[in-house]
Structure 1
Amino acid sequence: MRLSEDMSPRKIQILEIAAQLFARKGYRGTSMRDIGEKAGLLGGSLYHHIKSKDALFVELHNFALNVASEKISAAIVSVRDPWLKLEAACVALLTIQVDADSLTFPLMNDFREVPPQVRQQLVASRDRFEELFRTLVKALPLPEDIDRSIYRNLLLSQLNTVAHWYRPGRLTIEQLAHQVVRIFQHSDI
């Protein structure tokens, strides 16, 4: 996990520990006490570095989405063809999603467990992240009767669940992304 250079080494350590715990135990299953114990801090000392569990989760979620956005943007910057651009974005997102060490996947997808006020912040961040895919889908030569919002939501839903069923071996991430784009491209276009 790459965190800001202006953070203290202790805060970076706490954020990394918290991200690992959220990834492993989920939002509800992770307590500030768990984070403090793993970091070797008592409650008061932990709150010197972190405002609240909610603020911590939102900060980590936003960080994860920013990293994903940067990686996807870098992957598509030089690609011109809209289908190849979508495929490059899919490869970048799938690489993040299936990486066992990636903290991005659980942080990007754990919306059910959080309180409504936290969910609102997460949804706003996710919507900004999805602007990348809105732009990609808008550029595709799709038939007029295809609703691009539904298309994008279905595509992202598929990509965001790959880590649940994908196992390396039969297909590489690149081959998987190619298959996904071919399915979403329709052979008659």
Structure 2
Amino acid sequence: MTTSKKATRSGATALPSERRAHLVRLAGDLFAEKGFRGTTVREIADAAGILSGSLYHHFDSKESIGDEILSAFLDDVLTGYRQAVRDTDDPRAAIEQIVRSSTATLSRHRAALTMLQNDWPYFSAQPRFGYLRKAMKEIEQTWTAQLERGKQTGQFRADLDARLIYRLLRDILWIPTSWRQGRGTGWSTDQIIDGLLGLLFDGITARAPE
């Protein structure tokens, strides 16, 4: 499955230009700050220093811009997930790679993540954004498949609720906060990832000496 929507973006099939990419970044920042529904085409054009009509030379609608931002994000996420599963038969190693891949991807697509979190009810109800649900379903299935596999191999607890663990970890990973980038904390991104993986696989309970 691919989440790419290029075939449905009338007037937006040309190769991306530097100007186009700049408009997408500006729009993404506004969508993240004000919400997708709360942002107007005029505000995007004003931020870019152009007339509203000029924006339509690059995109046929505000939805086309949102579409480009979200599909690029989910394509990136799924590429990392698929590679993680393809690269190993070990469920623990696959999950570790998924966590690292997710962190790197989310750092590149903060605006898209905030858009999904703030305006999911809107996007999920629009037919043109139907690929969002398909992508989220694949993400969930990838996580739960590895967790269930780990249960079967004896690496993970037999009573583990795979769907619950997936939801908890997804929400931790997908929080777009600055501390995850290590700003002002003294922790690097790798240290934060290692901390999460240590909590996931080893817990916080002290082990009795053997």
TM over 0.5: yes
Q: Aligned in 2, Cα 1:72/1:112: closer, same or farther, shift over 3 Å?
A: closer
Rounded Cα–Cα distance in structure 2 between residues aligned with 1:159 and 1:78: 21
Structure index of larger Rg: 2
If the length of structure 2 is used for normalisation, what is the TM-score?
0.67
C-alpha displacement at 1:21, in angstroms?
2.0
Higher RCO (CA-CA < 8 Å; seq separation 6+): 1
Q: Aligned in 2, Cα 1:25/1:154: closer, same or farther, shift over 3 Å?
A: same
Is residue 197 of structure 2 the alignment partner of residue 178 of structure 1?
Answer: yes
- Counterpart residue type for residue 31 of structure 1: T
- Greater displacement, 150-159 / 167-176: 167-176
Preserved contact between residue 36 and residue 43 of structure 1 (Cα < 8 Å): yes
Q: Aligned in 2, Cα 1:100/1:47: closer, same or farther, shift over 3 Å?
A: closer
SS at match of 1:110: helix
Preserved contact between residue 58 and residue 122 of structure 1 (Cα < 8 Å): yes
Is residue 87 of structure 2 the alignment partner of residue 68 of structure 1?
Answer: no
Identity of aligned residues (%): 23
Preserved contact between residue 133 and residue 152 of structure 1 (Cα < 8 Å): yes
Look up the match of 2:6: none
C-alpha displacement at 1:61, in angstroms?
0.9
Is residue 107 of structure 2 the alignment partner of residue 110 of structure 1?
Answer: no
Look up the match of 1:127: 134
Alignment gaps of 5+ in structure 2: 1-12, 152-156, 206-210
If the length of structure 1 is used for normalisation, what is the TM-score?
0.73
Preserved contact between residue 30 and residue 39 of structure 2 (Cα < 8 Å): yes
SS at match of 1:18: helix
**Alignment root-mean-square deviation, CA:** 3.5
- Counterpart residue type for residue 152 of structure 1: Y
Look up the match of 1:23: 32
Alignment gaps of 5+ in structure 1: none
Look up the match of 2:16: 7
Is residue 173 of structure 2 the alignment partner of residue 159 of structure 1?
Answer: yes
Rounded Cα–Cα distance in structure 2 between residues aligned with 1:123 and 1:165: 32
Rounded Cα–Cα distance in structure 1 between residues aligned with 2:120 and 2:110: 20
Rounded Cα–Cα distance in structure 2 between residues aligned with 1:130 and 1:18: 27
Matched ranges for 1:78-117 at <5 A: 78-97=87-106, 99=107, 102-112=110-120, 114=122, 117=125
C-alpha deviations, 1:77-100, integer Å up to 9, x for none?
423310121121012212333x38
Look up the match of 2:144: 137
